[in-house]
Structure formats: C-alpha cells, structure tokens
C-alpha cells in the first residue's frame, strides 16, 4: 500500500460538500450518571500532585453513535472558567461520527479537537457510521489506504466547520482540529513534508492543524512545513531537550517563511504527560528505596512545569519580538496524554496541576468528565517551579536518565500509532471483503 505522500490520487473526489452545522440540532448521546461511591485518591506531599476525595455528582459522557445521535444543550461549566480566567484552552482528545456529537461539548466549553491513528482506529473499526462512504469509495476504485484517508478527511473537515466560529472569534488563536500524518513516515523527513502539504491541501480548512511527530527525523520537516505557511501540531514530545528543538524549528520556520504577515501560521507543541510517569514509576519501583518510591507520580508534572519555564524563556527577547512585529503567535504548549493510567492517582492529576496561560489541555473522556465534575480552576503550572526543579534533579540523582525516558517513550509512541494504523487498514480490508466489494 502506498504511503500518504505517494498516493496515486492526491486529490480525492469524495470529499464533503456543503456542511452547515446550523442546519443540525445538536446530536449526541449523553449520560448523566449518578454515583454515590466516593473516589479515594492517593495523597501526596507534593504540590505538583493533586489529591481528591469526593463522590462523582454526575459525569458528561459522549458516546460515538453508530448511525445517528441525539442530545441536549450543555450549561456553563468549569471549562469556560478555565479559558476565561486562566487562559488555558480545553480541547477534546477524540473524534468520531457523527461529528455533531461535538456540539454539546462545544457548548460546555471545549475549544478544539485532537485526533490520532489510535482514535480513528477505534472510531472506524467499531462503528457502522463509515460504511456508506467506505462502500462508495471502494466501488469507485479506491485502494484501502486511500479510502482510509478520505474517511479521515471528511471527519476533520466537518469538525473544522463546527469549530470555525471559535477560530474566527479568536483571530486564529483557537478552535483547531488536528489530523496526523501517516505514522509510517516518522523517520522520513521529506515524506513527512509532502504528507503535510497533501493533508493541508485536501482538508482545505483554515483551522486544521497537521500533526507531525517530534522525532529527530521530523524536526527539519516541522521547520519546512511552518515555512510554507502551514499550521502544525507537533506531537509525541517527551523530553525538555526535544521540546527545545521543536520550539527552534517553529521559530526557524517562521523566519524562513518570507511572509510579511505571520498571524495565520500557528502551532502547538504537544508535551505528553502521564506516559512519563508510567515509565518513571516502573524505574523507581525497581530502585525500591523510600526516596525513590516517594517520587512516584511526580516526574511527569515536574518535567511539564520545567517545559513551561522553557516556553516562557524561548518566547521572549529580541528574536521573538522581531517575529511578533510580523504578527507571529506563540507556539502554545499543549498537555497531551492527560488521562490517569494508575488508578491510585487522582483522576485530574495531569490536568489540575498544569493550568496556566497560553496553554492547551487536550482531554479524553475520562479526564474531561473528571475535571468538569470536580476540577478546580487556578493557575498552577508555575506555582512552585523550585519544587519541580528539585524533583527533576532528585530523579537524576537516583539514576533516572531523562534522555532515556524521552527516547524510549518516543519509540513506544510511534510504534503504538503504527500498530493502530496497520490494524485499522486490516480492519478496512476485512470490511471491504465482507461487503464483497474487493478481493484479497
């Protein structure tokens, strides 16, 4: 199968035509679940951890519909306060059909959407909502991978339309929907550039972010794509060193763009959080000393706090001010992987301690429900940088090599997305076979 950068038909004909969300009533399956059982969470002495002990009063659950949906308007939530009071944009880390399921979430304060190969693998392989378009594509002669990308492009376009009012209201500052290049290209510099150009062209929406992984091979790709005036969500960032390289690629791209107006070229840097603790905790468990065990659940947020400090440093000074004069916008930090992997930890552990201006928190269902239910809005990301530095150094002294943590998680992240991508293509092949439209 061809990669996205080498598709024989770079201009799909099966793309959505006029899509007007105003012609729809919000369609969403929403459960408001009462649960009287208390959630007892691990208490930590660190301010970089969050402890909670309270019952869920109700949770907003958005379920992807197989065919259609129904729903109701959502009242004002803490997500509105998160943006209006602290300058952090809450995004939703999920996408499926019908995209009008997003309307109640937008009403509740969600301001953007992120997607990845794993999300589309789940959405497409478990739903019948894609069958009609998929059948038409196969009947029209599309191969399986080309059909996949057209399914994805339709979802991204339709979601972009829903968030376009936010994009317009914020002068291109918010309201983005992210779509990732093929994970097969994670070590292909030029292939990634071509894939980003292709996706940007076929989606053809001002508020689309093209996601590019922060692998060493793709750092030059990020610079090149930004210089072409294409907005980018840089994903799979797991270390401070790689994050600084991402910032430099963004700045270099802006400087090399040749554009007099940089206000429409924007970016976010997706810094992954919970996965850091997952790996660091295993390493600390192996060390086994009281000091090591006391640091479990603290590595991720400590590194995130230092990433924000680096962000503040890099987006200031003469170099940045020269770009600001051309309308440049800061590359916002986006906290990704915000769901809690360890059930012993507070369910808002990777959201509540990372609140700060000019940032984004993209949350899957679990984290979003938890924060809407009992999240506290307060600037926390730089409330105790000294402690974060102490935790970061203490981990190093115990033998935790941050370079190893970052590189290992990057390998695992790329591999995970590749597996999801390949699994989905296999599922689509099976679906095509079951529809008796193509043969193996």
3-state secondary structure of 338: coil
| CB contact set of 37 (below 8 Å; sequence gap of 6+) | 55
User: Nearest Cα to 46, choosing from 403, 377, 307, 383?
Assistant: 383
Torsion of CA 399, 402, 407, 410, to 10 degrees: 120
pLDDT of residue 64: 54
Q: Which segments of 116-231 are extended strands (E)? A: 177-180, 208-213
Euclidean distance between CA atoms 345 and 244, whole angstroms: 29
Residue written as token pair 């679940």: 33
Q: Residue 270: helix, strand or coil by DSSP?
A: strand
Please, are residues 243 and 235 in contact by the beta-carbon 8 Å criterion? no
pTM for this model (two decimals): 0.85
DSSP state of 23: G
What span, in angstroms and rounded, lies between the C-alpha atoms of 226 and 276?
A: 28
What's the token pair of residue 386? 């000294």
Show the tokens assigned to 314.
Answer: 């890099």
Rounded CA separation 388/385 (Å): 5
| Cβ 41 vs Cβ 343: under 8 Å | no
Looking at 256-317, list the stretches that DSSP marks H as alpha helix, in order from N- to C-terminal side: 274-287, 290-294, 299-314
Residues of the chain with pLDDT under 50: 1-47, 49-59, 61, 65-72, 74, 437-440
Residue 15 confidence (pLDDT): 35
Cα separations in angstroms, 61 against 159, 259, 288: 19, 43, 39
In this structure, what token pair is assigned to residue 400?
């935790």
Q: What is the pLDDT of residue 94?
A: 98
Q: Please give the positions annotated as active site.
A: 211
Tell me the two tokens of residue 229.
Answer: 């005036």
* pLDDT (0 to 100) of residue 75: 78
Report residue 422 as tokens. Answer: 């390949």
Q: How far apart are CA 269 and CA 326, in angstroms?
A: 21
What are 84's two structure tokens?
């209006």
Take residue 293 and report the two structure tokens written for it: 């065990």
Q: What is the DSSP letter of 181?
A: P
Give the residue among 55, 51, 20 at the shortest CA–CA distance from 353: 51
Domain architecture of the chain: domains with CATH: 4-434 (3.20.20.70)
What pLDDT, on a 0 to 100 scale, did the predictor assign at position 129? Answer: 96
Angle at Cα 209 formed by Cα 204 and Cα 215, nearest 5°? Answer: 130
């Amino acid at each position: 199968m061809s990669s996205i950068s080498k598709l024989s038909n770079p201009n799909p004909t099966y793309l959505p035509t006029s899509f007007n969300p105003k012609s729809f009533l919000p369609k969403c399956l929403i459960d408001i679940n009462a649960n009287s059982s208390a959630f007892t969470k691990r208490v930590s002495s660190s301010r970089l951890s969050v402890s909670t002990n309270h019952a869920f009063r109700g949770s907003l659950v958005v379920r992807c519909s197989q065919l259609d949906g129904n729903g109701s308007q959502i009242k004002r939530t803490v997500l509105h306060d998160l943006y209006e009071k602290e300058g952090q944009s809450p995004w939703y880390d999920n996408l499926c059909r019908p995209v009008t399921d997003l309307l109640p979430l937008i009403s509740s304060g969600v301001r953007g959407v992120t997607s990845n190969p794993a999300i589309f693998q789940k959405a497409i392989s478990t739903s019948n909502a894609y069958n009609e378009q998929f059948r038409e594509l196969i009947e029209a002669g599309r191969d399986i991978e080309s059909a996949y990308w057209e399914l994805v492009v339709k979802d991204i376009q339709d979601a972009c339309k829903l968030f376009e009012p936010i994009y317009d209201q914020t002068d291109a500052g918010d309201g983005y929907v992210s779509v990732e290049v093929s994970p097969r290209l994670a070590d292909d510099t030029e292939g990634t550039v071509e894939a980003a150009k292709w996706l940007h062209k076929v989606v053809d929406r001002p508020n689309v972010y093209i996601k590019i992984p922060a692998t060493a091979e793709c750092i030059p790709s990020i610079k090149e794509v930004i210089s072409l005036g294409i907005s980018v969500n840089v994903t799979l960032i797991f270390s401070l060193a790689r994050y600084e390289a991402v910032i430099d690629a963004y700045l270099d791209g802006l400087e090399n763009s040749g554009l007099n107006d940089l206000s429409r070229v924007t970016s976010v840097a997706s810094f992954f959080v919970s996965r850091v603790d997952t790996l660091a905790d295993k390493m600390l468990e192996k060390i086994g000393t009281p000091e090591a065990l006391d640091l479990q659940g603290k590595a991720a947020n400590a590194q995130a706090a230092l990433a924000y400090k680096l962000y503040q440093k890099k987006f200031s000074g003469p170099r940045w001010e020269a770009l600001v004069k051309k309308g440049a916008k800061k590359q916002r930090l986006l906290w990704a992987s915000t769901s809690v992997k360890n059930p012993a930890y507070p369910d808002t552990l990777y959201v509540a301690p990372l609140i700060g201006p000019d940032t984004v928190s993209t949350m899957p269902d679990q984290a979003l429900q938890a924060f809407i239910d009992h999240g506290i809005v307060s600037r926390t990301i730089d409330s105790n940088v000294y402690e974060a530095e102490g935790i970061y150094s203490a981990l190093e002294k115990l033998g935790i090599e941050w370079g190893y943590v970052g590189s290992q998680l990057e390998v695992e992240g790329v591999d995970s997305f590749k597996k999801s991508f390949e699994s989905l293509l296999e599922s689509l092949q099976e679906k095509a076979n079951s529809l008796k439209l193509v043969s193996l």
